[in-house]
Amino acid sequence: MTESILEVTDVELSFAGVKALGGVSFDIRGHELFAIIGPNGAGKTSIFNVLSGVYRPQVGEVRFAGESILGVAPHRIAERGLARTFQNIELFENLDVVDNLMLGRHHHLGYGWPSAVAWLGKARRAEVANRRRVEEIIDFLEIESYRHLPVGMLPYGVQKRIELGRALAMEPRLLLLDEPVAGMNGEETEDMARFILDIRDELQIPMILVEHDMGLVMDLADRVMAMDFGVPITIGSPHEVQNHPDVVRAYLGTVDDAATDVIEEVSSR
C-alpha cells in the first residue's frame, strides 16, 4: 500500500475540562474521499481545526506527508499542502473572486515586497502566471461570470463554490471540506457533488469531508468515520457504517426496527 498522506494517532483535545476530542485515530489512503459524520458537537470541525493548526491537541500525533504538524503555524501547514474550506463561509468579502483565488496562491507567488512595491518584471510575471492558474480553477468551477465581483455580493451557493476554488488554488495535497453543501438547494448540492467527484477522480486530490447530508456522504465517500462526543464509533465503508448499531444509537438514541428503517430510507435517498 502507498504511504498515507495523513496519519492521525490518538489525538485528544480539551478546552478547560471540556473534552472535544478523546482519542481520535485514522489515516487517509491514496486519493480517497474520507467522510466524517456525527451529530452536532461530535468534534468533526475540531478535527479540522487540529489538522489546519488552529488548535493544538494535548495528546496524540498528526503526521502530514510523513512529517509531524503539531505546533506548526497554520500558514506553514498551508504551505506544505493542506487546504480547507469552512463551515461558515470565510471568504474575504471585500475582494473580488479573482483576488480571493489569488490569495489561495499566496505562497506560490514567489516574489517579495521589494519587487511588489516597484512592480518589477518578476512580480508582474508571477502575477500573470498565477492568474492563469486561477483562471483554470474559475473554468473548472464554472464561475466565470462572477470573476470581477466582490464576493460579499454573491449568492450563498456561489460563495461556497468560490471557497472551494480558493482551497483548490493552493494546489493542495489534502483538501478538507467542512460541510460543503450545508444550506444549499438540491441543484446546488448536485453541482457541488459533481465538483467533489471531479476533484477526486480528475485532480486526484485526497479529501476529508465533514457533512450532515447523509445522502451525499453515502453516495460519494469511499470510507466513513462516525463520531460521537469526540470519540470515533467506527470506520468503514458507507454501507458498514450506516448499519452499525452504535451509529444508529448515536443519531437516534435507541435501536429498534423502526429506527433502522428510517436510517435506511434516509440514506437511500
Partner 1 sequence: MTSTLTPRRAPRPPRGRPLLRTSYAQDMGLLNTPAKRSSTALVILAAFTVPFFVTDDLLLIFTLGLIASVGAIGLNLVTGYAGQVSLGHAFFLGIGAYTGAVLGGDPEGSVTGYGLPMWIWLPAAGVVAAVAGLIVGPVAVRLRGLYLAIVTLGLVFLGEHIFREARTFTGGPGVGRRGPDLELFGVDFAQAGTLFGLGLSRDQQQYLLALVFLIVFAFLGRNIARSGVGRAFSAVRDRDVAAAVIGVNLTVYKVMAFAMSSFFAGVAGALYYAVVGVFEPGAFGLLLSIQYLAMVLIGGVATISGSIMGALFITSLPRIAQEIAHLFPVISTSTAGGGIINVFQFEAILYGLLIIGFLIFEPRGLFGIWMRIRNYWKGWPFSY
Site string for partner 1, 57-76 (x = CB under 8 A): ----------------xxx-
Q: Dmax of the chain from CA atoms?
A: 71
Query: Got the DSSP string for 171-232?
Result: --SEEEEESTTTT--HHHHHHHHHHHHHHHHTS---EEEE-S-HHHHHHH-SEEEEEETTEE
H-helix or E-strand spanning residue 151: none
Task: Please tell me whether residue 94 binds partner 1 under the rule CB under 8 A.
Answer: yes
> Least distance to partner 1 from the beta carbon of 73, Å?
7
- Stretch binding partner 1 (CB under 8 A), from 6-14, 22-30, 113-121, 190-198: 113-121
Binding to partner 1 (CB under 8 A) within 169-198 occurs at 170
Site string for partner 1, 118-147 (x = CB under 8 A): xx---xxxxxxx-xx--x------------
> Least distance to partner 1 from the beta carbon of 145, Å?
15
Task: Please tell me whether residue 240 binds partner 1 under the rule CB under 8 A.
Answer: no
Sign of CA dihedral 143, 144, 145, 148: positive
3-state secondary structure of 14: strand
Task: Please tell me whether residue 269 binds partner 1 under the rule CB under 8 A.
Answer: no
Q: Strand 207-210 to strand 82-84: parallel, antiparallel, or no bridges (unpaired)? A: unpaired
Per rule CB under 8 A, count of chain residues that contact partner 1: 43
C-alpha cell at 256: 429498534
CB-count burial class (<10 Å; 0-12, 13-18, 19+) for 208: buried
Q: Which residues bind partner 1 (CB under 8 A)?
A: 52-54, 73-75, 78-79, 83-84, 86, 90-95, 99, 102-104, 106-107, 109, 111, 113, 116-119, 123-129, 131-132, 135, 166-167, 170
